[in-house]
Chain A
Amino acid sequence: MPSLGADMESAVVTQWLVKPGDRVERGHVVATVETAKGIIDIEIFGSGVIEKLAAAVGDSVPVGGLLASYRAEAEAAAPAAARAPPATAPPEAAAPRPSPGPTPASPIMSGAARPPGAPPSRDSAAERRLVSPAARKRAAELGIDLASVGPARAGLAITIGDVERAAERAAGATGAQPAAPPSRTAGPSDMRGVIAQAMSRSKREIPHYYVGTTIEMTHAVRFVRTWNAEHPVTERLHVGALLIKAVALALEKAPELNGFWRDGRFEPSAAINVGTATRLRRGGLLAPALEAANRQPLPNLMRRFQDVVERARSAHLRQTELADATITVSSLGEGGAETIYPIIHPPQVAIVGFGSVVTRPWVIGGAVAPASVMTATLSADHRVSDGHRGSQFLLAIDRLLQEPEKL
């Protein structure tokens, strides 16, 4: 089983396209497997005759596990050196995306499966997903994530036609046919697995530090209430939008919290794209990004916020919206717990948590009085920033929320 990305640990065989005795050529698609990110073709990395299928349809095979064996030309039976492209396409646009990350070496890469004389290095062409230049360009224009587009048939490259059909499906899905998902966005059944992998990786790899503070929300809550009383339903605000805007503005002065940790180093992001952790009704969560959140007027940001939350909950998000976030905000909303200690979503380097707004005793002008307050926490990557910077960042958010009309 080839590794199709750093987050993948195993996949389920969904179809065999060859049987023992079949002749295969390097590059043939021999099977399809289902991963958390969708169904992916498995290409064979050498030529020969299939001897044995080691995994049956429905079997979950760990990365590096044996899928099948084949007899290479003039050689004894060898494990099938099947490799498939990473599910994540290379970046299309200027906006940074998480990279597929390094692929751990696996036994199937070694030994007789390699053609004689071939270097033991990874074959990037074999791993690469076949996408035509025209398809790449069109996908970038349409904002279609190529990972959500499949070829007309296994083994073919993704063409501009495939991209345009995917775009039509996506457009149809957001319109009259909500039942048809536009992309292979992770569904509820595999959502848990995706979260499990990402969070395991996060806890395994990222040295988190945590800082927290309590923020008075009287002004912010009153601002929203007044605004909403004065505006029709289509123009109303949600406290969450204020929080996102405050985070985004505070990030302008905290670049070490905004970006990605990749290949052993921090890549700061010029764009501030705030992911909003959105709980799904059937369990799990998604964090669609609000792009350039620091630069959008609050009403616009609110509309966009409402839009992505709605679409996240109705499975209409585009993959790009999930991949674009440079930081994440996790807000518990009303009626929830007071404090959350969130875990960073790799390859991001920080996540901000907001608890529920609650009424608590608060010292105002030397006297204790009831006030609306909220706990803000920051989990950040210690490889990139230190607690002191994190603390300053939270205090900046606090200051911004005290003057909500300026957001």
Chain B
Amino acid sequence: MNVQSEETLRATILDSLLSVAPDIDAAALDPHLEFREQFDFDSMDYLSLATALHARLGVDVPEVDYPKLGSLDGCVRYIADALSRRSSP
């Protein structure tokens, strides 16, 4: 995975995040910090985020993995991993 594609992925994830929570300030987002802390996310928000990511990227995140979607960095890591697993046999 090259830098270019990670940036694209990050933008897509951020877009998905904003589609679920359009009221958050993307400029002030801290990629390391948990959404729960930054934006008061609850389980419904995580479910919505997982649904949005599934719609955009086709990645079905199991419920047990929701905690891994906790921050933007976490999301990028998890999704990139899932995508690479899917593309390689």
The interface of chain A, by Cβ under 8 A from chain B, is 178-179, 225, 228-229, 232-234, 236, 238, 240, 279-282, 306, 309-310, 313-315, 333-334
- Could you say which residues of chain B place their CB within 8 Å of the CB of A281? 21, 23-24, 39-40
CB pair B61–A233 under 8 Å, yes or no, is yes
Chain B nearest CB from A281 CB (Å) reads: 5
Nearest 3 pairs of A and B residues by beta carbon: A178-B22, A228-B63, A314-B22
CB pair B47–A236 under 8 Å, yes or no, is yes
- Could you say which residues of chain B place their CB within 8 Å of the CB of A279? 40, 42
Given contacts A233-B60, A281-B21, contact A310 B42 (CB under 8 A): no
- B18-32 interface code vs A (CB 8 A; 1 in, 0 out): 111111100000000
Given contacts A233-B61, A238-B44, contact A313 B54 (CB under 8 A): no
| Distance between Cα atoms of A109 and B61 in the complex (Å) | 62
- Chain A CB within 10 A, most for which of B19, B42, B45, B54: B42
Nearest B residue to A232 via CB reads: B60
Q: Is B48's CB within 8 Å of the partner chain A?
A: yes
Nearest A residue to B59 via CB reads: A233
Given contacts A281-B40, A313-B21, A313-B23, contact A306 B60 (CB under 8 A): no
- Could you say which residues of chain A place their CB within 8 Å of the CB of B39? 281
- Could you say which residues of chain B place their CB within 8 Å of the CB of A280? 23
Can you list 27 A-B pairs, Cβ within 8 angstroms, ordered by A?
A: A178-B19, A225-B63, A228-B63, A229-B64, A233-B47, A233-B53, A233-B60, A233-B61, A234-B51, A236-B47, A236-B50, A236-B63, A279-B40, A281-B23, A281-B24, A281-B39, A281-B40, A282-B23, A310-B20, A310-B48, A313-B23, A313-B45, A314-B22, A315-B23, A333-B43, A333-B44, A334-B43
Q: Is B89's CB within 8 Å of the partner chain A?
A: no
| Distance between Cα atoms of A259 and B58 in the complex (Å) | 43
Chain A nearest CB from B76 CB (Å) reads: 18
Nearest B residue to A228 via CB reads: B63
| Distance between Cα atoms of A163 and B20 in the complex (Å) | 27
The interface of chain B, by Cβ under 8 A from chain A, is 18-24, 39-40, 42-45, 47-48, 50-51, 53-55, 60-64
CB pair A314–B21 under 8 Å, yes or no, is yes
| Distance between Cα atoms of A282 and B60 in the complex (Å) | 29
Nearest A residue to B51 via CB reads: A233
- Could you say which residues of chain A place their CB within 8 Å of the CB of B23? 280-282, 313-315
| Distance between Cα atoms of A269 and B44 in the complex (Å) | 29
If A306-B51, A315-B23, A334-B43 are given as contacts, then 6 extra A-B residue pairs at C-beta distance below 8 Å, sorted by A number, are: A179-B22, A233-B47, A234-B55, A236-B47, A280-B23, A314-B22
Chain B nearest CB from A305 CB (Å) reads: 8
- Could you say which residues of chain B place their CB within 8 Å of the CB of A229? 62-64
- Could you say which residues of chain A place their CB within 8 Å of the CB of B42? 279, 333-334
- Could you say which residues of chain A place their CB within 8 Å of the CB of B64? 229
CB pair B22–A233 under 8 Å, yes or no, is no
Nearest A residue to B50 via CB reads: A233
The contact of B44 among A234, A282, A309, A314, by CB within 8 Å, is A309
| Distance between Cα atoms of A333 and B43 in the complex (Å) | 8
Chain A nearest CB from B66 CB (Å) reads: 10
| Distance between Cα atoms of A234 and B47 in the complex (Å) | 9
Nearest A residue to B61 via CB reads: A233
CB pair A240–B44 under 8 Å, yes or no, is yes
| Distance between Cα atoms of A315 and B63 in the complex (Å) | 27
Nearest B residue to A178 via CB reads: B22
Chain A nearest CB from B84 CB (Å) reads: 19
| Distance between Cα atoms of A310 and B67 in the complex (Å) | 19
| Distance between Cα atoms of A234 and B22 in the complex (Å) | 20
- Could you say which residues of chain B place their CB within 8 Å of the CB of A240? 44
| Distance between Cα atoms of A313 and B45 in the complex (Å) | 9
- Chain B CB within 10 A, most for which of A240, A280, A310: A310
CB pair A234–B24 under 8 Å, yes or no, is no
- Could you say which residues of chain A place their CB within 8 Å of the CB of B63? 225, 228-229, 236
Chain B nearest CB from A356 CB (Å) reads: 11
- Could you say which residues of chain B place their CB within 8 Å of the CB of A233? 47, 50-51, 53-54, 60-61
Given contacts A229-B63, A232-B54, contact A306 B22 (CB under 8 A): no
Chain B nearest CB from A191 CB (Å) reads: 12
